[in-house]
Structure 1
Amino acid sequence: MTATEQTEPAGTDPVKRRREARRAAAARARRTGAPLRHRIITLSLLCVAALYFLVPVYWLGVSSTKSSADLFGTFGLWFSDPQPLDHLRDLVTYDDGIYLRWFANSLLYAGVGAAVATVLSAAAGYALAKYQFRGREAVFNIVLAGVLIPGTALALPLYLLFSEVGMANTYWAVLVPSVVSPFGVYLCRIYAAASVPDSLLEAARIDGAGEGKIFRVLALRLMSPALVTVFLFQFVHIWNNFFLPLVMLSDSKLYPITLGLSSWQGYADRQPVLYQLTVGGAFVSVLPLMVLMVVLQRYWRTGLTEGSLKS
């Protein structure tokens, strides 16, 4: 008998004892949370990511309070003779208030386009998830292929098509392509298959509800987290879209903010005041996206909580 075996109590199993020790250590880890070094590393990475995304916005906020001369003659990350209200007044009154026209155009393109795209994606995704018909998987595969095609590759064919029907250089030239969201259809199908029970639909049909009412009253409510995601993604995509309006539009009164600010930047060498207006306009253009993110965030939290409770 070895010395180790002599020191062990009679009737104990070393394998069982080690297993119980691991269980106890795991239980202590669950009670105390993650190790300190893991929490420090995680917090450090999150801080670096936050700085990466927030420093450009901070720079925009600081620079929007400066004159064109101070933009190049002072430290970029701190204020110098801030006059935000004066610069904001100059922004909205320059060239007969053309910036406000661009801002309204962007709201029109992004708001209407995202809303219509969300409804169409919800209807298509719900139909692909809950109805059986011939060619359903082929349609879904075509939608997935649409996700992989970059929008820039479609801009020129769309321009040629809209030119043939006389819709180029109109609001429709930007609105109509914006209501199509292959990613939204994909997301809505996946979410509808997981969150809309077939038993609930059958119960509604037995009670005499039509398919349209079932979709409006039941499906849309159950799919609300996915719809909020589709709406926000599509809104941000349309709001930041530059290439499609560049190809489709030639009238400056139809420009969105992205294209309008780019035109200002192109003339800034000859009119230095446009440097400040471009920076200030870029900062103002970020504000609607920030507000929309804060307002719609609670719907995401609700959706994530519901998903965590599903078996």
Structure 2
Amino acid sequence: MENTSEFVFVLQGLNDSLTNRQLYFALTLFSYLFTVFVNLTLIVTILLDKTLHEPMYIFLCNLCFNSILGASSFYPKMLYDLLADRQVISYSGCLSQICVIYSYVFCEYTSLTVMAYDRYVAICRPLQYGAVMTPQKVVLLLLLTWSFSLLESLVGVALTARLPLCDYHVPKIFCTNWVVVKLSCTSTIVNNIYGYLITFSHLSQTCLILVSYARLVHVSLQSLSIRRKFVQTCVPHLVTLLVFTASLLFDLMYARYGSSAGGSGSGSLLTVQNILAAEFLVVPPLVNPIIYGMNLQQIRSRISHSFKTERQNSM
């Protein structure tokens, strides 16, 4: 189809949910507001407390900021669609959503890799930690994290934007790159190759993290104090990584091999697909700050102290 700038996609994922749209709207709004609240609480706590201006907490602050970005790429459009008579999105809006979502995904993986490296140095090379994780290196790692993430997303969107499209029905509640690619009228081999390269790259990051954690487990077994430090700071990180990877792999495999471009299949199957597909945009941004806030003693104490002080001032 020509004139893609005026192209409008029809989102079909909500077709079975519109009968209870008020309930879904209330739950979605609460989930979004609570997600933003818990992430902002951690960010503000870290920024205001100078004792938390350490690499581990700065990287955690970056992870929370990225979580807000990921949630904001999904929830506002979802809330609008729950109130709208037609669930549509413009061509440019769809590509923008894809760019933001994948920037969030890539930044999440790279941030988790950087955090694993930070924990490896802290536990396996504690005497050299201050010399290795300098403020300059922390800033450099953050810049590289966002630069590579944005570059990967922009290249993927550019490859998709060049494709002519022959359909406008998206069988999901939000735009994803592969779903749009499958609507193309021409060969998508370049997109396939790029997708496999990106998948291999980030799976390699996951393997690197797991290898570093195998080393951390070995070191933690030799000392009770190191074991406590590992459980407190590393286990939440590892759980977050595994859940995030599993949800992404399911969505990737299902989008490529489990459904047609037109989204044929039963309504119940489509509902399950959309729930699981949105998991990486809903669960990690909501759960990550809670997990880290509960397990990191300094953050838990600081938040608890802030709430107690606010309660006393209000009395």
Structure whose alpha-carbon radius of gyration is higher: 1
Same fold (TM over 0.5): no
Normalised to the residue count of structure 2, the TM-score between the two structures is 0.32
Normalised to the residue count of structure 1, the TM-score between the two structures is 0.33
